[in-house]
Structure 1
Amino acid sequence: MPQTSAPLSPRAGSRIRPRLIRYAVAAAAAAAGTLLAVGQPVGAVGLPRPGVAGLGNQLTVTYDDGAGRVVTRTLTCGDAATPDGRDACLRLDELGGPLAPVPAGQMCSMIYGGPQTARVTGVWGGLPVDETYRRTDGCEVSRWARMVPVLPSPADGMDGGRRMLPA
């Protein structure tokens, strides 16, 4: 009888599945968009749409401090990385890109971290990115903290929220 690999633990599966599903949906949407745009079938499903992969790793971070101040920054990683964005690029490399949303049904502490929100859009690893970050509970606060310096440290953080990409 052939041996099968052990199934993923519930915890590991809860981290991997949402990201895989998101990537599969993004790839299918990209393929469908290419088909509609050119009117011809694409070569293979799952390949990034033309023009996206060539952009490298480029993200736009829009931060709202919760008091009406909105700041937008652009982060370009790779050969075109700016010295000011190098720490953020290294952090994203460590994380494997912007963090996926907290899985539905995840138990989180009900500790409010503040009114700050951020939206990260663009391309990472040839795939489209559109993630929103909040500080509404313990899971979201932790997710935000892992994204510093891509996202600014919160106002109650060690640098008063000033550590963010330059304009």
Structure 2
Amino acid sequence: MFENKVYKHDIDSPIGSLRISASDSAILSINFLDSHELTFSDINPIIEKCKDQLDKYFDGGLKEFDLSLAPEGSDFQINVWNLVSEVSYGETVSYETIALQIGDKNSVRAVGNANGKNPIPIIIPCHRIVGKNNDLTGYAGGLNRKQWLLSHEKFFSGSEKQLSFFEEDKIEFNV
């Protein structure tokens, strides 16, 4: 799909180490790392811009990313990720809502599977998709990270919609 070199750069974040992969023209993936050891330090202008925007996001100063993305997936997955990308900062929608937007109310599980295969979490905000009863279900990075991201966005957006998710105001995250 792309013929450019793939650059990889590891960064620290409040939710653990992340690996950003990019071509010369777009972000290809962001992966959660289990180790704190940062091993890749390739950098190009695309990764530098992504790193800067992620830093601002985690500081609470950025609510919408402006990056070129090139996620690889099936047509269905790309469709789901495009719909997920429309969910605003500080808001959540259900897997069922995304399935209805696709036009197939019976595709809730397929939507969940596509969400779980999202190669660019945080930027394609799959953490904003929740279960039918606002349950925190499924997140490739783990439910602690999903809860942290939602709490972070709730705090910086002033949104009260997500308050029912959390028993405590403070969420501690240990990697």
TM class, shorter-length: under 0.3
Structure with max Cα Rg: 1
The structure with more helix, counted as a fraction of residues: 2
Higher relative contact order (CA 8 A, sep 6+): 1
More strand by share: 1
